[in-house]
Amino acid sequence: MPDEQRDGAAMTQRTDSFTHDGLRFDVRDSGPLDGTPVVLLHGFPQNSRSWDGVAAHLHDAGFRTLVPTQRGYSPDARPRRIRDYRASALVGDVLALLDAAELPNAHVAGHDWGAVVAWHLAAGHPDRVRSLTAVSVPHPAAMARSWTNPRQALSSWYMLAFQIPRLPELALSRPALARKVLVRTGQAPREAERDAELLSDRDVVRGAVNWYRAMMLSSPRALTAKVRVPTTMVWSDGDAAIDATGPERTARYVDAPYRFVTLRGLSHWIPDEGPGVLASLIAETVTSAGR
């Protein structure tokens, strides 16, 4: 029986799954049921487990976390078509989660591709997002402009490689190779083993890579839309995928209280590597926006 809490006639239940576009998504709904809700969105090539450390700290601070395993990764949400991974579909998934949990809005944090979804969600649906914490990946327009910097262009080589049909799936579904690639980006061996095992399923790799293949299907207006909710941009100076250029340019695309935090000595994998400090930054953003 799901946990529940009564407030007069009101009843709140745990949300362990939801549906959208005929797909079924797994959700990990944890922490105090009456706590302020925070949605945590994972990136490539991970699932909801990447937020375990951060979520534990947030629970200790009194927050409820809802962590979906996103499109392409959830076992019953792996469409084959590239167009099914366009930004509007990914945002729709999060809106469906909020609806399933009967939440009019929530605080949102996203890492890597999860940050991209969070940026689009906050820009297009500010009524559903109380605050945004973007981890590693800057605003889409700032990211696009950063590719004029040779360092960022060089770091983004894999985005072009992922456009090649079938070969990325063939390569990344080999656990030893996937593990080696992840460790070279700065990921710790234990977490690299975890994520390489996830990628051993060819269907997961196809869905994960299709996020990159669908990049060009977003509308120009959606890419440049400003965010008008309280926002924190968190970047780490050891990030092998994201140069400082994009994060430093992100402020111009936020028309709300904003701060930019650089974490020293951490790699791209901030939720795994610095869960305590990231949880504190999320909590500070939530508190400043009004819990």
Q: Select from 3.10.150.10, 3.30.56.10, 3.40.50.1820, 3.20.20.150 the CATH code of 4-153+220-289.
A: 3.40.50.1820
- Tell me the C-alpha to C-alpha distance, in Å, between residue 249 and each of 7, 143, 145, 245, 263: 45, 8, 9, 6, 17
Let me know: does 234 contact 278? Beta carbons within 8 Å: yes
Nearest to 225 by CA among 141, 157, 131: 141
Can you give the pLDDT at residue 149? 84
The predicted-structure confidence for 10-53, as pLDDT tens digits, reads as follows 447 999 999 999 999 999 999 999 999 999 999 999 999 999 99
pLDDT band at 153 (very low <50, low <70, confident <90, very high): confident
- Residues with Cβ within 8 Å of 284's Cβ and at least 6 positions away in sequence, in order, are 232
Are residues 88 and 96 in contact, defined by beta-carbon separation less than 8 angstroms? no
Residue ranges of alpha helices (H) inside the chain are 52-60, 87-100, 113-124, 140-146, 150-155, 157-161, 167-172, 175-184, 189-199, 202-213, 220-224, 245-249, 270-273, 275-289
pTM more than 0.85 = yes
Instruction: Work out the number of other CB atoms within 10 angstroms of the CB of residue 53.
Output: 17
Taking only the tens place, the pLDDT of each residue in 163-203 is 999 999 999 999 999 999 999 999 999 999 999 999 999 99
What are the domain boundaries of the chain? 4-153+220-289
Residue 8: per-residue pLDDT: 31
What pLDDT does 221 receive?
Answer: 79
Task: Choose the weakest-confidence range: 18-22, 154-158, 269-273.
Answer: 154-158
